[in-house]
Structure 1
Amino acid sequence: MPTKTAKRNSPFEIAREALGHVGKFQTPPTPSVYEVWYRYVEGVDDIIANLSHAVEDVNAVSVDMLEQLHKQYCANIEDTNTDLSDNLASEMTSLQSILESQMNAGKQLGSELDEACVTLQEAPATAQSIAECAQKMLTSSNTMQDQIRNLQTQLQASQSKVEALQTELNESRAAVMTDPLTNLGNRRHFDLHIRQSLLLAKTESRCSFLLLVDLDHFKHINDTFGHDCGDKVIMYVASQLTHLCPDSSISRLGGDEFAIILRSDDYAEATDTAAEIRQYFASTPLKLSGSGEDLGKIELSIGGARLRKNDDGQSWFVRADKLLYQAKNAGRNSVMLEHSR
């Protein structure tokens, strides 16, 4: 698994080391590239997880990779969401104003009709007064109809804007939580679903199993076949995990590590799922596309922890991570799940 860099306290030290990475990897010191290196040295976990396996090979770090990391982890996406939210709130206010205008128009028509009726009641009705009253009521009704048609047009336009803004906001939020290589959830997605699992455990007594999955000897694949091949292996693993666990929350934590949240706290079910995952990859040989060169079978280790009543997100993750290391130390290509409740 990726090794974290030591976090620096001095911004000057961070900046100096970040510039050192810019020079070492011959990446242009553009604002976005520099910020990724700065955050890497600073100790941002998501960036460390995605870069640590690559920095071992000078040729493995590309500008495209750094730009993708900047877009996912550094770009101020929150500002985009804030702008969209503000626009949505503004349009909702406009909707409310349109509806209030329609209600006021209806009240005005009612008042004018009441006034006409009172006029007829206060004096003996004559043909002229009845005609004048009818004309006034007709004029008020026509005015009301014109107002309603105008307001309906405004209402439809405003509703369309609201729907478009809601769609854009949802897409923006989804993009923030998506790993660009695999289209799985990223660390933000993982943290969100951890919080949801904790909430479900408290409100509905629904506990879950957290499985951490790490590929064995993944560095060997990168070193032997290249990082492009390594990326394809990561994408393949992601797609198969989605197929094997269709009803679970799956995230790529970075590098070659994945997290699966099973919506079950049954030890036997979690064990069967983890064993099925390990066995599937261990029994499926892969070939390099194009050349047909044999890549061998993908071996992986899995550690799993059941959510406990006194857990928070950190304690739950730490237990699963320790079990993952136990699976690694047991010879890899193995599964370690806690049985205790």
Structure 2
Amino acid sequence: MLFILIEMFIIYKITVSNTLLIQELLTYKFINTSIFKTVIPQIALLIFLLSILVFIIKAYLRRSSFEVRLIGVIISVFAALYYIDDKLSFSIFLSAAGIILAISIIEDSYSMAYQDELTGIPSRRALREDLMKLGNKYVIAMLDIDFFKKFNDTYGHDVGDDVLKLVASNLVQVTGGGKAYRYGGEEFTILFPGKSISDAIPHLESLKEQVSKAGYTRKPSKSKGSKAKKTSSSSQLFVTISIGACEKSTKFKDANDVIKGADKALYRAKKKGRNCVSK
């Protein structure tokens, strides 16, 4: 906010100033040709092009849609200034820039609130909201990665984060109408609206097998000062998950009771030796 205020103050000073040097700088022509005769000074054109180039590079490196939307904002503002003498076109393009920016802020705010930053799947807050939309028939499955703490201590938190992403990418492919959420840490939740426990179990078994076969390729690590094991060659790592499922019934009357029932089933799955589904 301070930077924006300073910028506005500088622009104000420039506009009210009659300094010849500033006028010459703003109207300086790099290329003296009829092709570049526009209402926008060439230095402004250069700044627009540089801004677009910077955001294209950032969008490519970060794989982020936010920078792509900013490119749209810059192009819309440029078009508005190009058609500044046409009041209708000026208003349309400037309004388009504002709408793109507003939508971008709303989408980013939603993602921050309802999506897990690390894995990209819906977060616990999204789960809480969806729990309130469930009907009278549903199944909740709680699952976590087996021996994840030991895995983290052995290979380091960076590899642990990559494994969480790998598991999450498999969970979103769950069949049977299930929807995956990150509950916290290495624990995840899957909702099956309108399903019975007998309907959900085959899909959970299939998911368990899919995760156990999805290997993570660990890149060579030669960093000093790291507690993780150092390797000079890539290696394939595999993880398994334990799943506990519970259905809404007369015993488990609301979503909180069903989650507690699924947690107990998860503990039973771990006692059975892990890498299994329990109900």
Q: Does 1:335 align with 2:277?
A: yes
Q: Which protein shows a greater Rg?
A: 1
Cα separation, 1, equivalents of 2:253 and 2:202: 24
Query: C-alpha displacement at 1:284, in angstroms?
Result: 4.0
Aligned to 1:301: 242
Cα separation, partners in 2 of 1:166 and 1:272, compared to 1, 3 Å: same
Cα separation, 1, equivalents of 2:172 and 2:219: 21
Cα deviation digits, residues 239-297 of structure 1 (max 9, x gap): 111123495321111111111112332333201111011112233444313432232x3
In 2, are the aligned partners of 1:213 and 1:300 still within 8 Å (CA)? yes
Task: Give 1:127-166 correspondences, 5 Å limit.
Answer: 165=102
Cα separation, 1, equivalents of 2:117 and 2:195: 30
Aligned to 1:248: 178
Cα separation, 1, equivalents of 2:175 and 2:116: 18
Aligned to 2:119: 182
In 1, are the aligned partners of 2:217 and 2:234 still within 8 Å (CA)? yes
In 2, are the aligned partners of 1:264 and 1:270 still within 8 Å (CA)? no
Cα separation, 2, equivalents of 1:246 and 1:180: 26
Cα separation, partners in 2 of 1:166 and 1:305, compared to 1, 3 Å: same
Aligned to 2:254: 312
Cα separation, partners in 2 of 1:267 and 1:314, compared to 1, 3 Å: closer
Task: Give 1:191-206 correspondences, 5 Å limit.
Answer: 191-197=128-134, 201=135
CA RMSD of aligned residues (A): 2.9
AA at the equivalent of 2:260: V
AA at the equivalent of 1:173: Y
AA at the equivalent of 2:278: M
In 2, are the aligned partners of 1:265 and 1:307 still within 8 Å (CA)? no
Q: Does 1:270 align with 2:200?
A: yes
In 1, are the aligned partners of 2:144 and 2:186 still within 8 Å (CA)? yes
Query: C-alpha displacement at 1:314, in angstroms?
Result: 1.5
Cα separation, 2, equivalents of 1:319 and 1:177: 25
Aligned to 1:283: 213
Cα separation, 1, equivalents of 2:96 and 2:214: 51
Cα separation, 2, equivalents of 1:183 and 1:321: 23
Q: Secondary structure at the match of 2:194?
A: coil
| Greater helix share, structure number | 1
Cα deviation digits, residues 202-228 of structure 1 (max 9, x gap): xxx5x2211111111111211111111
Q: Calculate the TM-score normalised by the size of structure 1.
A: 0.47
Q: Secondary structure at the match of 2:172?
A: helix
Cα separation, partners in 2 of 1:169 and 1:281, compared to 1, 3 Å: closer
In 2, are the aligned partners of 1:184 and 1:251 still within 8 Å (CA)? yes
In 1, are the aligned partners of 2:163 and 2:216 still within 8 Å (CA)? no
Which of 128, 140, 148 matches 1:218?
A: 148
In 1, are the aligned partners of 2:166 and 2:216 still within 8 Å (CA)? no
In 2, are the aligned partners of 1:212 and 1:320 still within 8 Å (CA)? yes
Aligned to 1:141: none
Cα separation, 1, equivalents of 2:170 and 2:183: 16
Cα deviation digits, residues 53-82 of structure 1 (max 9, x gap): xxxxxxxxxxxxxxxxxxxxxxxxxxxxxx
Stretches of structure 2 lacking an aligned partner (at least 5 in a row): 1-86, 221-232
